[in-house]
Chains A and B, each alone.
Chain A
Amino acid sequence: MDERHELERVWSDAPGIPGFLSTVDHKRLGIRYIYTSFFFFFVAGLIALVMRAQLSGPNQHVVGPTTYNELFTVHGTMMIFLFNTPILAGFGNYLVPLQLGTRDMAFPRLNAFSYWVFLLAGLLMCSSFFVGHPPNGGWFAYTPFTNKEFSPGLNMDFWGLSVMFVGISSTVGAVNFIVTIFKLRAPGMTLNRMPVFVWAMLVFSLMILFALPAITLASGLLETDRIFGTSLFVPAGGGSALLYQHLFWFWGHPEVYILFVPAAGMISMIIPVFTGRPLAGYVWVVTALVAIAFISFGVWIHHMFATGMPALALAAFSGASLLIAIPSGVQFFAWISTMWRGVVRLSTPMLFALGFLLIFLLGGITGVMVAVLPFDWQATDTYFIVAHLHYVLNGAVVFPIFGAMYYWLPKFWGRRPSERWGRVSFWVMFVGFNLSFFPMHILGILGMPRRIWTYPSGVGWTGINQLVTIGGGLFGLGTGISLVNWAWARFRGEPAGEDPWNADSLEWATTSPPEHWNFTSIPAVIGRHPLWAEKPVPVSASASPDSTFALGPEGALARQTPITNGIETAPEATMTIPHETYLPLLTALGIAVFFLGLLVNGVVVGVAGVALAAMGLMWWAWRTDVDLR
């Protein structure tokens, strides 16, 4: 008991606001990522409902065309940049160190920095509403439409700057995940024993590292054009509007898989637990994730089939796009064969996983359809694409996220959400989703274009649009039920215990919620399913040479965690987990001020921001103590 008391003292954050602003605990930050992302999810979702109200009948006037443009732009941008990507990073933040059997991320302060940048970038985007200039040029912001000449005003500057800003968060987050996964695994957690979710986060991070620079440049160069008058995307000045599309989609297509891969990783964790047997074809599933990452860098031109490129290029990218169905199919069959031999428990997380399978199947099939050139030429810029992209980005990512919430909530809070209301929420969401997005395929084939703010009567779209709006409302209701269910569980839910699902991975070997230090003794991993092999999970210990010191409680008491070498995971050094600090917040604020300066064209503000950020970073580098022990 004394030891526990001492550990509490060593690891707890300061109480109240100071601790809140300065914490570097991956669990607090992970949860905060999830809350913040859900906030943006519900904002963007409400925006979608307003759009559906507008389209529920012909010649409606709920909102005008200008507002409608702003709504669909912000809806898309928010969902992609401020909900989907960060919430997956949030789950990763919370779960990866626990699943690896370590006490924090490799760079805890960078982790805090990454969160603050995400929050401030989100606030920058939201602030556009309050000054009356929300982005209005589509979430892809195609030039020349978004050039200063055709889109004056600050609207698209809010888009470009917040997209660039939030990219910093994803990038440093990705670096953090990669190093954590390579260097902080518990002894015995070799690569072929890593949970599939960790593999997925590794692939997610590597893809971000190589794809994200393209969107940083697309939005960054767009902003130099808009703010400083360069002419990279301005045809009159020798620039090229098509170059913008290349840059945007060189990120944009991998991004689809950046979102899908962790979602698939979540499914690969949930299905085995609720069928009571290991995932079929672990190696195949992991290989498929890696293969998807590689192929996804060679398909971006399928978003540009209608831009008039040489036929050979189109054919090559069409082929690559079809190819991606193979690794996706491999995973699909692995999930089915896992269930085939197991006894399926239909708890809420599993229901969401099954719902995901069906939706992903449909989204995948329409994906193959639009990879075929002649079909794409017909379907492009119609509601068929809207249907397809919502099947893959909403259905195949949001359903796993909701499943993951139901699955991991008991760990986050130590309390269980209501099973009954979870099921109700699932069915309302599932019916609402399909009612909303399936008919959009038909609307697209009937020729309804994307992004129109209203349509005339008598073209045969009215009935289907009404159906879509009803489905959209149902889907919103279903998500709302879950939100209430979670809020209730947070305070009133039944106690969950350490391992409510009889799961296999290491996060279930700790208390719920886990202690600040995760593990008093670092676990020793003896197989791919530690909790199914032996309970309680064995702990690693040593005769205390320097490098293995951090394994035991002495390490936890010294705020340390072991660093292991990449391949055989033998401990090679120890890492001290930094104490709470305001530096990440300060640096993030500096960058925010810099972007604000760019936005208002204020040189003084911009320079002040750079100075603040540089000061923060240099102070940070100064305080790094790796060389001082």
Chain B
Amino acid sequence: MTVTTRPRVIEVQPAIRRGYSTAWWGMVCMIATEGMIFAILIASYFFLRATNKQWPPPGVEVPNLTLVIPFSLVLWGSSIPVFRAEHAIRRGDQRGLRIGLLVGSLMGLAFVAYTIKDFQDLHFGWRDHAYGSIFYITVGLHATHVVIGLLMSLIVQIKAWQGKFSAERHVTVEVFSLYWHFVDAVWLFVFPVFFLSPHIR
């Protein structure tokens, strides 16, 4: 038997203002859960520090700050060109978009290069002691996030050079920039905990 009565039709008004896209919300959720990963790693760091008599352990120097501070500034600074790129495409400025993304990714690349060099120069390994383990894992995981950001940037940049974004359509740029800022923000916590806090005794 089929239903013969037709459903009542209700006229729906469109929203006056558009909210964020589903992709943006998806990224916000990913950031929440990724942020928890780093929060828990930082908590674990302090837990391990509290259970050890000496921190860093005997024979391990406190982190050397001469290189990490300038390169941290480079990483945090890389948010500015990415921010400007996003603003440029909102006005439809393709050139501003491309330059901003390129400069941002070069700054990110410089930071990754620094991390690799830093890991080679460190006088302790990740097998030596829990201090080394948590240090390499957390700092390495953050660097991995920068690398993922760079891969995302690559895709976005190719699309930008193909002119696939416009003032109206640039969700990909927005989502990428959100992720990039997040990775920089994580360093705002990882850097003081892993590089500065050992200096406080």
Binding site for B on A (CB under 8 A): 106-107, 110, 171, 174-176, 178-179, 182-184, 187-188, 209-210, 212-214, 216-217, 221, 224-225, 228-232, 234, 237-240, 242-243, 246-247, 250, 521, 524, 526, 534, 536-543, 545-548, 551, 563-566, 568, 570-573, 575, 614, 618, 621-622, 624, 626-629
- On chain A, the residues within 8 Å of B192 by CB distance are none
Beyond A179-B25, A545-B14, is A240–B40 a contact (Cβ under 8 Å)? no
- On chain B, the residues within 8 Å of A541 by CB distance are 9-12
- On chain A, the residues within 8 Å of B14 by CB distance are 542, 545-548, 570-572
Q: B185 to nearest A CB, angstroms?
A: 16
Beyond A571-B12, A626-B171, is A237–B130 a contact (Cβ under 8 Å)? yes
Query: Do B5 and A243 touch (CB < 8 A)?
Result: no
Query: Do A247 and B40 touch (CB < 8 A)?
Result: yes
Closest A residue to B34 by CB, please name it.
A213
CA A255 to CA B155, docked complex, whole Å: 36
Contacting residues of chain B (106-142) with chain A, CB-CB under 8 angstroms: 126-134, 136-137
- On chain B, the residues within 8 Å of A210 by CB distance are 32-33, 36
Beyond A228-B126, A232-B48, A240-B48, is A618–B151 a contact (Cβ under 8 Å)? yes
Q: Does B51 contact A (CB under 8 A)?
A: yes
Stretch of B16-24, B72-80, B96-104 that contacts chain A: B16-24
Query: Do A628 and B10 touch (CB < 8 A)?
Result: no
Q: Interface range on chain B: under 10, 10 to 19, 20 to 34, or 35 or more?
A: 35 or more
Secondary structure of the A contact surface, majority rule: mixed
Closest B residue to A233 by CB, please name it.
B130
- On chain A, the residues within 8 Å of B3 by CB distance are 536
Q: Does B201 contact A (CB under 8 A)?
A: no
CA A521 to CA B171, docked complex, whole Å: 27
Query: Do B40 and A243 touch (CB < 8 A)?
Result: no
Query: Do B130 and A565 touch (CB < 8 A)?
Result: no
Contacting residues of chain B (123-179) with chain A, CB-CB under 8 angstroms: 126-134, 136-137, 151-152, 154-155, 159, 164-165, 169-172
Binding site for A on B (CB under 8 A): 3, 5-19, 21-23, 25-26, 29-30, 32-34, 36-37, 40-41, 44, 47-48, 51-52, 57, 126-134, 136-137, 151-152, 154-155, 159, 164-165, 169-172
Query: Do B47 and A240 touch (CB < 8 A)?
Result: yes
Which residue of the partner chain, among B6, B8, B12, B22, contacts A187 with CB atoms under 8 Å? B12
Query: Do A547 and B15 touch (CB < 8 A)?
Result: yes
CA A563 to CA B21, docked complex, whole Å: 9
5 of the cross-chain contacts (CB-CB < 8 Å) are A107-B22, A175-B30, A573-B18, A575-B22, A624-B23
Q: Which of B7, B30, B129, B170 counts the most chain A CB atoms within 10 A?
A: B7
Query: Do B29 and A209 touch (CB < 8 A)?
Result: yes
What is the count of residue pairs linking A and B with beta-carbon distances less than 8 angstroms?
A: 192
Query: Do A179 and B19 touch (CB < 8 A)?
Result: no
Closest A residue to B44 by CB, please name it.
A243
Q: B99 to nearest A CB, angstroms?
A: 19
Query: Do A539 and B9 touch (CB < 8 A)?
Result: yes
Query: Do A238 and B52 touch (CB < 8 A)?
Result: yes
Q: B112 to nearest A CB, angstroms?
A: 15
- On chain B, the residues within 8 Å of A187 by CB distance are 10, 12
CA A188 to CA B18, docked complex, whole Å: 17
Query: Do A240 and B130 touch (CB < 8 A)?
Result: yes
Closest A residue to B6 by CB, please name it.
A536
Query: Do B9 and A230 touch (CB < 8 A)?
Result: no
CA A451 to CA B36, docked complex, whole Å: 33
Q: Which of A225, A231, A573 counts the most chain B CB atoms within 10 A?
A: A231
- On chain B, the residues within 8 Å of A243 by CB distance are 44, 47-48, 51
Which residue of the partner chain, among A238, A571, A627, contacts B130 with CB atoms under 8 Å? A238
CA A618 to CA B137, docked complex, whole Å: 25
Query: Do B12 and A573 touch (CB < 8 A)?
Result: no
Query: Do A548 and B12 touch (CB < 8 A)?
Result: yes
Query: Do A230 and B172 touch (CB < 8 A)?
Result: no
- On chain B, the residues within 8 Å of A176 by CB distance are 26
Q: B48 to nearest A CB, angstroms?
A: 6
CA A212 to CA B133, docked complex, whole Å: 22
CA A176 to CA B131, docked complex, whole Å: 37
Which residue of the partner chain, among B18, B19, B33, B57, contacts A171 with CB atoms under 8 Å? B33
